[in-house]
A and B are shown apart, each in its own frame.
Chain A
Amino acid sequence: MEPTNTLFMAKAVIILVVFAITLGVAAYSTYFERKIAAFMQDRVGPDRAGPFGILQPLADAVKMFMKEDFIPSHANKWLFIMGPCLSMLTALMTSAVIPFGDTVTVAGVTFDLQGIDVNIGILWVFGIVSLGVYGILIGGWASNNKYALLGGIRAASQNISYELAMGLSIIAILMFSGSLSTKTIVEAQQNGHWNIFYQPLGFIIFIVCAFAECNRTPFDLPECETELIGGYHTEYSSMKLGFYLFAEYINMFISGAVMATLFFGGYDYPGYEFVANKLGETPAAFIGAGALIGKALFFVFVFMWVRWTLPRFRYDQLMNLGWTGLIPLSIYNVLVTGIGILSGQPIIAGIAGFVLLILGLIIYDQLTVKKKIA
């Protein structure tokens, strides 16, 4: 075979494997969500299907497929079908640019463990994430139901609002790496120079925005059942509803992978060089891919952990946090990072910026807030 052809095959295999991993993780996220919820509430959780209920996702899938696939008579039929499909599509497309590992050599073919390395990688992620809201918006509108419409509209305004702060928090990272390519960003963090040590504030902003973008608690207002019945998926049943839920879990996993890539060194892990010297580059890279997936799964756990801890925000609180809290904070973060890079002391500048922020908060409190008498 020609070298380009073998490379093409290798890439195709990578994309297939990434798809399979993503879908598998998403399927088992439903199981682990219920298990984690149960453990946090001192319960057992699903344990009937197979040992420890390990076949529960299968049973759920069978249930989803067997249920009646209902389309409301006044719904816009094609858009109603398109909504969940778009959600699923955009959720799956994001993983293309995530570098799952370094260069490996399998059967004489050398390639990167990455779908595609483009020089705008992180912008691609943003573009697709910003499209993710179409699925919800279209589904909500096409249902011809006021609650669904309200859910869709909430999702739209929430996603647009939090994308701004998310983008601004990433700009500080881009200032370090000097590139939009995810591969370059990861390579700049090798040997333990993870961005989290330089950008703790940026990470906090990013993770809050990731929660809002994935429509997870405490920001799951589009599907807030106390106010909107089921939100945008009120009218959905069967596997169409399943697609919406599935897309949410895929988004969780992918955003975990993006956070690991941007802030936690991607496929880097302590002792990478040692392993590479002992076993060779290829096994080390595969272990690195495992490390990245492990980090992503940890973030999935954090998503669930937060969901079963925090109550839902009110909508005005959500908007307030996004526009008057996170956006100024991320601009401040960009400023501090700029000073750090110019002075050549990024860590000191980062810590100083954090301390200054806290001091500022305390002084502001002392000056303006009335004391409690209690």
Chain B
Amino acid sequence: MEVSNYWYFLSGLTLLSALMVVLSKNPIHSVLYLVFTFFCISGHYVLLNAQFLMAVNIIVYAGAIMVLFLFVIMMFDLKKNIPDSKTNLTKLAGTVVAGSVLVILVAAFRTIQYPTPDESTFNPNNGMVENLGKVLYSEYLLPFELVTVLFFVAMVGSVMLGKREVGDRNF
């Protein structure tokens, strides 16, 4: 089978599950569809020969972040309807925000120039771990290190927030 057929199949699945995230009434179902969407996107990474990104996408997004999402949503009382979320104002605000995002995206895609890869110099192994690592630690060393500093600061901050101060009660 042609690779493009896989691409069409995966893209269809991605769009369908992404739609289901928005359309399903149950937030748990939404989260699960979102997880499935991440899987489809990981499939796209595999088609692009970027296996490292695929694995990291699954580990970080599907494996950790979405678990925490699910974790939080399960704590809610889903049967209770929150009246605030159904007012006309929120509906209007949601429509405006979503519409403007759509407009911006369409505008951005209209102006974009699609570069066609040069077949003589194109390296299909660009997405492999070794190449990715080499690029990160040579060409993009500064941004990479800045990101690590950012993460470090965030980590220290969360530890500080989580630390019990003197006089705090245990539970």
On chain B, the residues within 8 Å of A127 by CB distance are 55, 58-59, 62-63
B17 to chain A, nearest CB (A): 15
Are the C-beta atoms of A141 and B62 separated by less than 8 Å?
A: no
Report how far A149 CA is from B51 CA in the complex, Å. 34
Give B59-71 as 1s and 0s: 1 = Cβ < 8 Å from A's Cβ atoms.
1001110011011
**Quick one: which of A79, A126, A159 contacts B55, CB cutoff 8 A?**
A126
Are the C-beta atoms of A157 and B63 separated by less than 8 Å?
A: no
Are the C-beta atoms of B71 and A137 separated by less than 8 Å?
A: yes
Tell me what chain A mostly uses at the interface: helix, strand, loop, or mixed.
helix
**Quick one: which of B26, B28, B58 contacts A130, CB cutoff 8 A?**
B58
Q: Indicate whether A163 sits within 8 Å of B64 (C-beta atoms), given known contacts A120-B55, A134-B35, A180-B129.
A: yes
Are the C-beta atoms of A79 and B28 separated by less than 8 Å?
A: yes
| A-contacting residues, B6-57, CB 8 Å | 26, 28, 32, 35, 51-52, 54-56
Report how far A79 CA is from B55 CA in the complex, Å. 25
| B-contacting residues, A134-161, CB 8 Å | 134, 137-138, 141, 149, 152-153, 156-157, 159-160
Report how far A76 CA is from B26 CA in the complex, Å. 11
Are the C-beta atoms of B129 and A156 separated by less than 8 Å?
A: no
Are the C-beta atoms of A156 and B71 separated by less than 8 Å?
A: yes
Give B111-153 as 1s and 0s: 1 = Cβ < 8 Å from A's Cβ atoms.
0000000000000000011100000000000000000000000
**Quick one: which of B26, B52, B74, B128 contacts A123, CB cutoff 8 A?**
B52
**Quick one: which of B52, B67, B68 contacts A134, CB cutoff 8 A?**
B67
On chain A, the residues within 8 Å of B74 by CB distance are 137, 141, 149, 152-153
| B-contacting residues, A96-142, CB 8 Å | 118-120, 123-124, 126-131, 133-134, 137-138, 141
Q: How large is the interface on A (under 10, 10 to 19, 20 to 34, 35 or more residues)?
A: 20 to 34
Are the C-beta atoms of A137 and B70 separated by less than 8 Å?
A: yes
On chain B, the residues within 8 Å of A163 by CB distance are 63-64
Report how far A118 CA is from B46 CA in the complex, Å. 11
- Output the nearest chain A residue to B159 by Cβ-Cβ distance: A323
Report how far A118 CA is from B129 CA in the complex, Å. 11
Q: Indicate whether A130 sits within 8 Å of B32 (C-beta atoms), given known contacts A120-B51, A141-B74.
A: no
**Quick one: which of B35, B55, B59, B71 contacts A153, CB cutoff 8 A?**
B71
Are the C-beta atoms of B64 and A160 separated by less than 8 Å?
A: yes
Are the C-beta atoms of B55 and A157 separated by less than 8 Å?
A: no
- Output the nearest chain B residue to A152 by Cβ-Cβ distance: B74
Report how far A153 CA is from B74 CA in the complex, Å. 8
Q: Indicate whether A130 sits within 8 Å of B63 (C-beta atoms), given known contacts A120-B129, A153-B71, A160-B68.
A: yes
On chain B, the residues within 8 Å of A179 by CB distance are 129
Q: Indicate whether A130 sits within 8 Å of B35 (C-beta atoms), given known contacts A79-B28, A123-B56, A137-B71.
A: no
On chain B, the residues within 8 Å of A126 by CB distance are 55, 59, 63
Give B61-94 as 1s and 0s: 1 = Cβ < 8 Å from A's Cβ atoms.
0111001101100110000000000000000000
B27 to chain A, nearest CB (A): 11
On chain A, the residues within 8 Å of B55 by CB distance are 120, 123-124, 126-127
A150 to chain B, nearest CB (A): 10
On chain A, the residues within 8 Å of B54 by CB distance are 120
Are the C-beta atoms of A138 and B32 separated by less than 8 Å?
A: yes
- Output the nearest chain A residue to B66 by Cβ-Cβ distance: A134
Report how far A129 CA is from B59 CA in the complex, Å. 9
Are the C-beta atoms of A137 and B67 separated by less than 8 Å?
A: yes
Q: A124-B55, A133-B63, A160-B68 are in contact. List 9 more A-B contacts (CB 8 A).
A: A76-B28, A79-B32, A127-B59, A127-B63, A130-B62, A130-B64, A137-B74, A138-B32, A149-B74
8 examples of A-B residue contacts, CB within 8 angstroms:
A76-B28, A131-B62, A134-B67, A156-B68, A159-B67, A160-B67, A160-B68, A179-B129
Q: Which 9 A-B pairs give the minimum distances between C-beta atoms?
A: A130-B63, A123-B55, A127-B58, A120-B55, A120-B51, A127-B59, A141-B74, A156-B67, A156-B71
